[in-house]
A and B are shown apart, each in its own frame.
Chain A
Amino acid sequence: MFNNFFYTLKEVGVPVSPTSFLTLQKALSKGLINSIDDFYTSSRTILVKGERYFDLFDQVFAHHFQGVALPEDMGLEVDALLRSMLDEWLKNPKELADLLGMEESELSKLTPEELIEYFKKRLKEQTERHDGGSKWIGTGGTSPVGHSGNHPGGMRVGGVSRNKSAVKVALERRYKDYSHTGPLTQATIGEALKHLRNLIPSGPKDQVNIDSTIYNTIKNGGEIEIVFDRGLKDRLKVILAIDNGGWSMDPFIPVVQTLFDYARAQFKDVKTYFFHNTVYDTLWEDPARHRKPLNVDEFVRVDPDTRLIMVGDASMAPYELMSSDGSIYVDTRSGRPSIERLQFMAASFPHNVWLNPVPSHMWHYTMTVDAIRQIFPMFELSLDGLEGAISHLVAK
């Protein structure tokens, strides 16, 4: 039973195992599952082993039992719609405010992200009622909102879910924030960065291991044998270089800020530097990139085991990267193309990654991204990407 459901889960990338599927069958045959609501909770708890996949599960469930379109078809369309809506908003805030049933002043208070969220919620309400919800943005004439003032924001917990059918609950997609494509929060960044810490024994054997001492002493029939161990130390050094200049990085400031804050809290030995677009002769210790320059050549003196994490969108005019006088700042022109400096840095620190806040499917539209990817292994600044980057960094 439900073989298709199982395979759809597998196809969309939820790691499900045959064993767990058999367990589900066992639950079914024992008569533990008597309704679709039961099936929803039970199959999720048995099949899905991480909250990151709950959102995908919800979507597949809704697809399977209600025929809701799967994410692949939906995602792009909505994104395109959102973009057009945002443009519309910039052109004519008043009209849009009317459409959304909001005061214009209220609308202007929202950040674009909040607006998108608000909008998506409306869109979802709309889809539920008559399956072609996307229409009303295009024509713009129909009144979209039946019941306004519906609970905005916040993640719902199950406590209130008693009166809703499983499909409705699944449609709400309340685990969206946990999914691997979801936004990076401090907690998720922290979780990922924690893998970077590696405690290894180092230094002289100067700590008494009491347990083995007792064990060995007793083994010797009471002849005292003291066992010493080395202390544990986190020896990982991290250099974090952040592109904090220019409008192209502006949308990503919050997420980079979070990464930066968390890195500072997590690692004892983390050095942060700043650059704009790409690196020429200097990196800067101050975010204003003005007072405390550091010559890139200095890196030869730093422990090559240091992990280098570059963060930037890697998007610029090709000449900035390739030309020997590429810098857009007159005073930092050095006669050497930036790409050589990047190669030098990558060679100085064999453990390196480049985190790019731009989604990976957009990378091949920008030439410089491809060029930099030849030098640094590039990962998306999302939970999945971050985890990939970390496992790349800790690899020997």
Chain B
Amino acid sequence: MNRREENKEFKGATQYVLDDELAKIVNISMALEMPLLLKGEPGTGKTMLAHSIAENLKMPLIVLNVKSSMKLVEALYQYDTLTRLNDSRFGDSKRDVSNIEEYIKMGKIGQAFTSDTRTVLLIDEIDKADTDFQDDMLDVLDQMEFDIIEIDKTIRAKNRPVFIITSNAKKNLSDPFLGRCNFHHIAFPDPKMMRKIIDVHFPDIDSMLTDNAIETFYRLRELDRVEKKPATRELINWIRALGADPDFKPKKLAKGEVPFLGVLFKKSEDYGLAMQSVNRRRMF
């Protein structure tokens, strides 16, 4: 979409439709060496963006999936005490038990710091973890280094990774943390944009199918009281499902039939609601 000549600039990737605004934001964050925090509804491509940056700039991608009980240390490094104990009792490995460093394993952030090339580090859904996690991360982001207490060694980032952080707004992020990030909110794509996205994923799709599928999709998204609205990911899977069904014809969608509703709605109550509305429509 956005064609520029410079090499180290992000221009979108094969599986990702990038808008101009977002491209600018990614580039400026990289130039300023600041982490980019992305918010937005699930399924708007926050995670995909990191993948496409890595693909586009030919950097390795390291993904840190944040879990609710996660402590930052786990993301930095792990001291594998169990193996060390095992080695010390049974002594059947080549490792030197008295050298603790041999039992230190780098976590995802550690890997990104010690990597010989610049990496893209995706910290996915940071809001899942406690606020402690963000607070602890401030230092790491500021200093670009962390200490391994067990061996009293400081790990410095050889190359500053490109930080992409995503949040689904489950919890509010703390102000000091926000202060260190650049921020962008990805809005849900409008039908036009959605068409482009579909075209990227299914280059030789029947245009009538796309039209009808997108129309049905946006109609179903309008349903009231649905807790988890179907997002881009669901739409893509759904189109894949439709394409895999030999009996399916795009005309059916126009008539109001919606096969494979379960691909779009994954909560049983939502499914029920959608089912009702589809059936009601078909009767007219």
Q: Judge whether B41 and A30 touch: CB under 8 Å.
A: no
| Contact among A26, A30, A54 with B185 in the assembled complex (CB-CB below 8 Å) | A54
Which of A5-13, A153-161, A296-304 faces chain B?
A: A153-161
| Contact among B20, B37, B179 with A17 in the assembled complex (CB-CB below 8 Å) | B179
Q: Judge whether B34 and A23 touch: CB under 8 Å.
A: yes
Number of A-B contacts (CB under 8 A): 110
* Bound complex: CA A274 to CA B190 (Å): 39
Interface flag for B82 (CB, 8 Å): yes
Interface flag for B39 (CB, 8 Å): yes
Q: Judge whether B189 and A157 touch: CB under 8 Å.
A: yes
Q: Judge whether A38 and B24 touch: CB under 8 Å.
A: yes
Proximity bits, A184-223, B CB within 8 Å = 1, else 0: 0011000100110000000000000000001100100010
Q: Judge whether A157 and B31 touch: CB under 8 Å.
A: no
| Contact among A26, A41, A156, A178 with B190 in the assembled complex (CB-CB below 8 Å) | A156
| Minimal Cβ-Cβ distance residue in B for A215 | B81
Residues from chain A with a CB closer than 8 A to the CB of B214 are none
Q: Judge whether B190 and A27 touch: CB under 8 Å.
A: no
Residues from chain A with a CB closer than 8 A to the CB of B178 are 49-50
- For B, the interface residue count at a CB cutoff of 8 angstroms equals 45
CB distance from A260 to the nearest CB of B (A): 10
Q: Judge whether B21 and A41 touch: CB under 8 Å.
A: yes
CB distance from B27 to the nearest CB of A (A): 8
Q: Judge whether B17 and A159 touch: CB under 8 Å.
A: yes
Residues from chain B with a CB closer than 8 A to the CB of A248 are none
CB distance from B183 to the nearest CB of A (A): 5
* Bound complex: CA A361 to CA B176 (Å): 32
Interface flag for B171 (CB, 8 Å): yes
CB distance from B269 to the nearest CB of A (A): 8
Interface flag for B29 (CB, 8 Å): yes
Residues from chain A with a CB closer than 8 A to the CB of B225 are 186, 261
Q: Judge whether A161 and B21 touch: CB under 8 Å.
A: yes
Residues from chain B with a CB closer than 8 A to the CB of A161 are 19-21
A contact patch SS: helix
Q: Judge whether B179 and A49 touch: CB under 8 Å.
A: yes
| Minimal Cβ-Cβ distance residue in A for B170 | A194
| Contact among B82, B172, B196 with A218 in the assembled complex (CB-CB below 8 Å) | B82
Contacts A158-B19, A194-B171 given; does A41 touch B25 at CB 8 Å:
yes
Q: Judge whether A51 and B185 touch: CB under 8 Å.
A: yes
Q: Judge whether A157 and B187 touch: CB under 8 Å.
A: yes
Proximity bits, A353-370, B CB within 8 Å = 1, else 0: 000000000000000000
Contacts A17-B179, A38-B24, A160-B192 given; does A51 touch B39 at CB 8 Å:
yes
Residues from chain B with a CB closer than 8 A to the CB of A291 are none
CB distance from A164 to the nearest CB of B (A): 10
Interface flag for B188 (CB, 8 Å): yes
CB distance from A45 to the nearest CB of B (A): 5
Proximity bits, A13-43, B CB within 8 Å = 1, else 0: 0010101100100110010110000100110
| Contact among A19, A46, A155 with B182 in the assembled complex (CB-CB below 8 Å) | A46
| Minimal Cβ-Cβ distance residue in B for A156 | B190
Residues from chain A with a CB closer than 8 A to the CB of B36 are 45
* Bound complex: CA A160 to CA B21 (Å): 10
Q: Judge whether A154 and B190 touch: CB under 8 Å.
A: yes
| Minimal Cβ-Cβ distance residue in B for A47 | B183
* Bound complex: CA A162 to CA B24 (Å): 12
* Bound complex: CA A20 to CA B28 (Å): 14
* Bound complex: CA A161 to CA B27 (Å): 18
Contacts A38-B24, A45-B29, A158-B21 given; does A265 touch B169 at CB 8 Å:
no
Contacts A45-B182, A46-B182 given; does A23 touch B32 at CB 8 Å:
yes
Q: Judge whether B188 and A155 touch: CB under 8 Å.
A: yes
* Bound complex: CA A334 to CA B24 (Å): 67
Q: Judge whether B183 and A218 touch: CB under 8 Å.
A: no
CB distance from B217 to the nearest CB of A (A): 14
| Minimal Cβ-Cβ distance residue in B for A190 | B227
Interface flag for A173 (CB, 8 Å): no
Q: Judge whether A158 and B185 touch: CB under 8 Å.
A: no
* Bound complex: CA A9 to CA B133 (Å): 30
* Bound complex: CA A17 to CA B179 (Å): 8
Contacts A214-B82, A222-B85 given; does A159 touch B24 at CB 8 Å:
no
Residues from chain A with a CB closer than 8 A to the CB of B196 are 159
* Bound complex: CA A49 to CA B189 (Å): 21
Contacts A49-B178, A155-B187 given; does A32 touch B171 at CB 8 Å:
no
| Minimal Cβ-Cβ distance residue in B for A37 | B24
Q: Judge whether A32 and B193 touch: CB under 8 Å.
A: no
9 shortest interchain CB distances as A-B pairs: A51-B185, A158-B21, A158-B19, A159-B19, A218-B81, A49-B178, A159-B193, A41-B24, A45-B182
Contact sample, A vs B, 7 pairs, CB 8 Å cutoff: A42-B25, A51-B185, A154-B190, A156-B190, A157-B19, A161-B21, A218-B84
Q: Report which B residues bind A (CB closer than 8 A).
A: 17, 19-22, 24-25, 27-29, 31-32, 34, 36-37, 39, 41, 81-82, 84-85, 89, 169-172, 175, 178-179, 181-193, 196, 225, 227
